[in-house]
Amino acid sequence: MDDKISRKLKDFYDFDDADLQANRGGKMSEKQTQMIANRNRVFRLVGIIGGGFFILIAVLAAVIWLVAFVLWSLTGNWSGFQAGSLGAAIGVLGAGIAGTLILRYGLSKGNPKFVFKKTQGAVAVEKIHVKSSGSSSGGFTEHQMKVDGVEFVLDDELVGVIKNGEMWAFYYLEFKDGSEGLILSAEEI
């Protein structure tokens, strides 16, 4: 493999010769294992902070609603309470659901189930238009790379570096949740 191409791939996928050697042996290097652990920690942290923020908003809104209920019940003036109750209930419910979803997403992404894999063969690169969900005109263009039936999104930086028909080996993690695989290293064969 050309040194310029090798350097570009190593920089982009953040691997070195020791990582590639470990991957050839069917395992992740210590550096890659640490990188995945750090990535997982970030997902968990974002889930806990983001989810916790929305759950806190829901709890605070519920407490405010409860205080308002007590005050209105003491004064006997229910008109304001009735008018605000629906909005408060929707706010509490919405913030609680959003917080729970963010928390669950972060925790599930932060504890992924994956399998270390290798795929090799001739690369097929295809430029495709991906439609935005719910939109008939919007979307974006991306390059997809298929190697022996395994698909990856090819970042714009690597278009032209990895070409159609070239023989490559990719060492990657396949996630059990169906999300796109994570390339750990690659080599032209």
pLDDT tens figures, 91-146: 788 888 888 888 887 777 766 678 889 999 999 988 888 777 666 667 788 888 89
Please state whether the predicted TM-score (pTM) of the whole model is above 0.95: no
Can you read off the two tokens belonging to residue 126? 């295809």
pLDDT tens figures, 147-160: 998 888 888 888 88
Per-residue pLDDT at 32 exceeds 80: yes
Question: Each residue of 36-63: b (16+ CB within 10 Å) or e?
Answer: beeeeeebbebbeebbeebbebbeebbe
DSSP annotation of 2 reads -
Task: Select the more confidently predicted residue: 87 or 187.
Answer: 187
Burial of residue 114 (CB within 10 Å: 0-12, 13-18, 19+) is middle
Domain positions in the chain: 3-27+113-188, 39-109
pLDDT tens figures, 38-80: 888 888 888 889 888 988 888 888 888 788 777 777 777 666 5
- H helix or E strand, kind and range, residue 131: strand 114-131
Nearest CA to 172 out of 117, 113, 109, 122 is that of 117
**Which amino acid is located at 87 in the chain?**
G
